[in-house]
Amino acid sequence: MKLLFLSDTHLGFDYTENPRIDRRRRSDDFFANYHQALAPALNGEADLVVHAGDLFHRSRVPQSVISNAFAPLLQIAEQGIPVYIIPGNHERGFLPRSLFDTHPNIHTFSYPRTFIFDGTCRIALSGFPSQRKNIRSTFSSLVESTGWQAVKADLFFLVLHQIIEGAAVGIQNHVFKNGSDIIRAQDIPAVTAVLCGHIHTQQVLYHSLSNTRLAAPVIFSGSTERTSFVERLETKGVYLFEFSDTPSFQQCLKKSFIPLSSRPMIDLTIDEHISPNDCLGFLQWHATHLPADSIVRIRIEADQDHNLGPLLRIKHLRDIFPKSMNIQLSIPRKSPYHRNSNSPDH
C-alpha cells in the first residue's frame, strides 16, 4: 500500500487575473510543482493521497485557481484513488466550495472526523481543520473527537495542519518550543504516524526537546515550493510511503522523499563597498551572469538608500533584469523609499 503525502502547495500565490504589469509571476511555479508533487498518483503509483493543508494561498481565490487546483485531484479520484485534504490556516479552516469536491473519492476534514481506507490493509485517517487559537489546550479533546480510538484498523494516521513542539524552520533553524499555538510533544497520541502541514521545512520528529521518544513520529513533508527567501536553501518535495499491515512506521517498507525542482533564489546586497556610481554596473553584471530563471532579492543597506535615487524603483530594476527573472527589493523600513519594496505584487 502506497501513500502519497504532500502539504502547503499555496496555489494562488502571486496570482492575479487582470495584471496591470507585464512580468513573470510566481503562481506558475507553484502550479508546476503541484503537478510534479501529484505525479506518482496521476501515474497510478499511489493508493491514496493525503494533503495536509494550505492547498490554496488565501481563503478567497479566483474560480480559475480553484478549478485548476481540483482538476488533477479529480483525475486522481477518477482512477479510484482517494484524496484526503485538511483545510489549512491560509484557508482559515475552510476550503472554497467546488463541484469537484463532491466527488466520492475526494474527502475533506471539514470537522474532526476519521476516514477509513480499505486496501491491502485497513487504514484510519483522522484529523480536523487547522485551529488558529489555543490549540495547546484543545488539542487532546479535538483528537478524541475524531473518534479514532473507536475504529478498527491496521494503520492509524493523524493528519494535522499545526505547529508541533520541536519543529524547526528557516535559515537560522528556529525551533518552536512554547506557546498557545504550539502542540506539546507529550500530547501526541500513539498512532502509526502524524502527517503534518504548516511547517514549510521537510523533517521528521522522533523525540521531544527533552529527548523523550514521541508516541508517534511527526512527519512534515514541507511546502512544495519556496514561498519566501527564508526557504531559499531548502529542497522542496513530497513523501511516498509504502506500508505493509504492520502498525510501525519504523518498519515501513519504503520511505521516499521525492525532491521537486525550484528556481534559484539569490540575494544581492548593495552595501557600503558599492558606490552609487558602481551600483548600475553591479546590477547589470548580475543580470547577465545569474541563472536566467532566478528569483532575485536586492537588499539595500541603510546607509546606501539615500544615494541611489531612481534605482530604488522596482520598475527601473525590471528594465535592467530579464523578464525571465523575478525581482524583489528590500529596503530598510526607515527609508522614504520603503513603500516601493519587498512585495511580489510590484
pLDDT at 223: 98
pLDDT at 139: 98
Residue 84 near residue 49 (C-beta atoms within 8 A): yes
Amino acid at 222: G
HEC string of 136-184?
Answer: HHHHHHHHHHCCHHHCCCCEEEEEEECEECCCEECCCCEECCCCCCEEC
Element (H, E) at 63: helix 63-78
Look at the alpha carbons of 162, 234, 157, 76 in this order and tell me if their dihedral is positive or negative: positive
Residue 81 near residue 2 (C-beta atoms within 8 A): no
Nearest-angstrom CA–CA distance, 310 and 289: 23
pLDDT at 233: 95
pLDDT at 343: 47
pLDDT tens string 117-157: 999 889 999 999 999 889 999 999 999 999 999 999 999 99
Sequence spans of domains, the chain: 2-259, 265-340
Residue whose entry in the numeric block shows the C-alpha cell 524552520: 169
pLDDT at 307: 62
pTM of the model: 0.92
pLDDT tens string 162-183: 999 999 999 889 999 999 999 9
Look at the alpha carbons of 292, 62, 103, 151 in this order and tell me if their dihedral is positive or negative: positive
Nearest-angstrom CA–CA distance, 25 and 12: 10
Q: In what order do the strands lie in the sheet with 122-127?
A: 113-118, 122-127, 155-161, 193-197, 213-220, 203-207
CATH number of 2-259: 3.60.21.10
Residue whose entry in the numeric block shows the C-alpha cell 527533552: 210
pLDDT at 75: 96
**Secondary structure class of 307 (helix, strand, coil):** helix
Spell out, as residue ranges, where the chain has pLDDT lower than 70. Answer: 99, 253, 302-307, 309-310, 332-346
**Secondary structure class of 272 (helix, strand, coil):** coil
- The grid cell for 287 is 543580470
Task: List CB contacts of 144: < 8 A, sequence separation 6 or more.
Answer: none
pLDDT at 335: 54
